[in-house]
Amino acid sequence: MIDAKDLTRTFGNVTAVDRVTFHVEAGEVFGFLGPNGAGKTTTVRMLCCLISKTSGEARIADYVVGNEEDSLKIRKMIGLVPDNVGLYDELSAYENLDFYGKLYECSESQRRENIQRFL
Ligand SMILES: Nc1ncnc2c1ncn2[C@@H]1O[C@H](COP(=O)(O)OP(=O)(O)O)[C@@H](O)[C@H]1O
Ligand SMILES: [Mg+2]
């Protein structure tokens, strides 16, 4: 389901992720642990196609990380809950959920139903 092979990301002369290789099966709960600065967030950001990789390969299901068309499909199928949640302070709780629902192309009636349930 998730396959990373020699995944690497550098920022200038900092190597944030250095040839990370792992495999996660569908349905498996996978703990990806390490001290602060180990490169966990950078790895997740590459897998979610939020930043590019420097080298190595990764696949999510049959999609290839780094392929532009596949990146859109990968972003659609992943739900990421980062440690600092990206909510907009100037929007209400309802408006925040409505905004994210729109990004996921939920219909208006589906958004209304989901938001009532989640709130
Ligand atoms: N956008 C960036 N620009 C420069 N350095 C970065 C950037 N993002 C992360 N780093 C560096 O990459 C390393 C790994 O960071 P990170 O992936 O956030 O680690 P973790 O999530 O495991 O704490 C750290 O040394 C961090 O300072
Ligand atoms: Mg982190």
In tens, the pLDDT along 62-100 reads 999 999 999 999 998 998 888 777 889 999 999 999 999
Domain that holds residue 64: 2-77
Pair 60, 100 in one domain: no
Pair 90, 107 in one domain: yes
Number of domains within the chain: 2
Which residue puts its alpha carbon closest to atom 2 of ligand 1? 11
Pair 64, 41 in one domain: yes
Query: Which has the closest alpha carbon to 60: 69, 71, 45?
Result: 71
Q: Looking at residues 49-70, what average pLDDT do you find?
A: 96
Residue 17's pLDDT band (boundaries 50, 70, 90)? very high
Q: Which residue among 8, 15, 42, 45 has the greatest number of ligand 1 atoms within 8 angstroms of its CB, and so is best to mutate? A: 42
Q: Which residues pair with 17 in a beta bridge?
A: 9
Query: Which has the closest alpha carbon to 40: 56, 57, 22, 25?
Result: 22
**pTM, 2 dp:** 0.85
